Amino acid sequence: MPSIAIFGAGRALGLSTARRFGRAGYDLDLVGRTDATLERLRDALRADGLDASLEVADLAEPGQVADVVDRLVRRRGAVPDLVLYSPGDVSRLPVAAPDLTAATLRSWLPLNLLSPVELVHAVLPGMTQRGSGTIVVAQGSAVRTPAPALASSSVPQAALLNYLAAIAVEAGERGVHIASLQIGQLIERSAAAELFAAGRFDDVEAGRLPSIDPDELAETVWKIGHAGGPLEVATLPAA
């Protein structure tokens, strides 16, 4: 049975993706920062007749990524067929480009650059040996259309996009598909959407933002997972 591992699983994109793949017969592995969050997600899936295995890891600590992959491989006997990296960080406001110092940027690197690189490094050998696999990284659309107010996250994510493009060609030749899912909308039912509605981000992005149902994003992840070739960039809304 194929499997999907969702790194940074949350109540919006992570849960919707788990439901989409679970209904298609995939084994589900959810990776998140706290037991409480993961248990709530598993309860929601069980209400739909699905189940998931849970792994606790802080994705702001790159060293924990390889440990999680090792545990998944020991349990499943192989690396996942599809990996989605989609952590949300609402613990702090993004820092605009004029205020972004080297020291501040360094604190944004682990979640937005170092950990996903470590994840690719951990799963790619097993995928290429098998001759199949998909790695999807959720990013903000500011990686291609700069948004000065979001520089603290978009700058390292843009570096990550360059890395994904650099590694995707050879990976594609060996049966592994790599994709950047670039989201330019507020994801409904997410923690960020809740905080935005409460005015938390007014100093960054005042007013209304277009929103998107995470079920729509999950369907895009599904389509990416059954595509192929070199780096795929899926931009929502479409460019």
pLDDT by residue (tens digit) across 53-67? 999 999 999 999 999
Among 144, 5, 19, 197, smallest CA distance to 87 is for 5
Side chain identity, residue 163: Y
Would you give the DSSP letter of residue 185?
A: S
Alpha carbon distance 30, 7 (integer Å): 6
Mean pLDDT of 164-184: 94
3-state helix, strand, coil in the chain (%, to 5): 50, 20, 30
Percent of the chain at pLDDT > 70 equals 92
Long-range CB contact pairs, 22-28, < 8 A, 24+: 22/48, 22/50, 22/51, 22/52, 23/48, 23/50, 24/222, 25/1, 26/1, 26/2, 26/81, 26/82, 27/1, 27/2, 27/3, 27/53, 27/76, 28/3, 28/4, 28/52, 28/53
pLDDT (0 to 100) of residue 203: 60
Q: What pTM was estimated for this model as a whole? A: 0.94
pLDDT (0 to 100) of residue 196: 74
- Under the banding of pLDDT at 50, 70 and 90, the label for residue 239 is very low
Q: Is residue 207 predicted with pLDDT exceeding 60?
A: no
Q: Is 207 left (phi over 0), alpha (psi -120 to 50) or beta?
A: left
Q: Is 96 left (phi over 0), alpha (psi -120 to 50) or beta?
A: beta
Side chain identity, residue 75: R
Alpha carbon distance 1, 53 (integer Å): 14
pLDDT (0 to 100) of residue 229: 67
Residue pair 51/25 in contact (Cβ under 8 Å)? The answer is: no
Least confident of 28-32, 91-95, 138-142, 213-217: 91-95
Alpha carbon distance 47, 25 (integer Å): 16
Q: Strands, E, within the chain: which ranges?
A: 3-7, 27-32, 53-56, 82-85, 133-140, 176-183, 186-187, 211-212, 232-236
Alpha carbon distance 62, 67 (integer Å): 10
The domains of the chain, with CATH numbers, are: 3-236 (3.40.50.720)
- Taking the CA of residue 196 as centre, how many other CA atoms within 13 Å lie in the half-sphere pointing to its CB? 18
Mean pLDDT of 170-189: 93
Alpha carbon distance 131, 118 (integer Å): 20
pLDDT (0 to 100) of residue 218: 97
Q: Is residue 144 predicted with pLDDT exceeding 50?
A: yes
Percent of the chain at pLDDT > 90 equals 79
Would you give the DSSP letter of residue 200?
A: T
Q: Is residue 30 predicted with pLDDT exceeding 90?
A: yes
Q: Is residue 204 predicted with pLDDT exceeding 60?
A: no
